[in-house]
């Protein structure tokens, strides 16, 4: 039981290191934390495989939100998985998803589930409030014409 608790605590530390490396744009550290065949799944983006794709995804996000920073609100570890409740604070300084820079400060909330294998993050399932982010940037939801 103690050995399992130690592994779970190590897995939490790997997750903390991951978000620190994301925010610091430390690609070398990300390469250490992710295996070559890393995969990410999210309802709002197509699943992708490969740690290099994550770096490109990170870079594109930080172009639009250069001061973005992750705050981990809660970590729960069980076995090889770590659940992360988090939020991201950022300022919208360049075009994002077709929305020109607004200069608005935004907060996006999310949950990530990460599977750790041999000291690396093998898989991430991402659930983030993309709609809430887009609404903070000024996007409005409207029903399709002719629909109620």
Does the domain at residues 2-136 carry the CATH identifier 3.10.450.50?
yes
- Evaluate if residue 147 carries a pLDDT over 90: no
Q: What's the pLDDT tens digit per position in 16-38? A: 999 999 999 999 999 999 999 99
Q: What's the pLDDT tens digit per position in 40-95? A: 998 877 677 888 888 888 999 999 999 999 999 999 999 999 999 999 999 999 99
- Evaluate if residue 98 carries a pLDDT over 80: yes
- Evaluate if residue 2 carries a pLDDT over 90: no
- Give the start-to-end residue ranges of the domains of the chain: 2-136
Q: What's the pLDDT tens digit per position in 125-137? A: 999 999 999 999 9
Please name the residues in contact with 82: beta carbons below 8 A apart, sequence gap of 6 or more.
8, 11, 12, 14, 15, 75, 76, 113, 114, 116
Specify the pLDDT at position 144.
Answer: 82
d(CA 82, CA 104): 32
């Amino acid at each position: 039981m103690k050995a399992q608790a130690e592994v779970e605590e190590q897995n939490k530390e790997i997750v903390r290191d991951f978000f620190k490396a994301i925010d610091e744009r430390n690609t070398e550290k990300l390469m250490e934390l992710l295996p070559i065949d890393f995969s990410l799944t999210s309802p709002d983006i197509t699943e992708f495989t490969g740690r290099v794709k994550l770096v490109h995804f990170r870079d594109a996000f930080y172009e639009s939100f250069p001061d973005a920073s992750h705050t981990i609100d809660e970590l729960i570890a069980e076995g090889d998985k770590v659940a992360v409740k988090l939020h991201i604070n950022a300022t919208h300084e360049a075009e994002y998803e077709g929305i020109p820079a607004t200069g608005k400060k935004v907060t996006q909330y999310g949950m990530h589930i990460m599977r750790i294998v041999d000291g690396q993050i093998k898989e991430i399932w991402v659930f983030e409030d993309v709609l809430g982010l887009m609404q903070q940037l000024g996007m409005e939801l409207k029903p399709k014409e002719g629909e109620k």
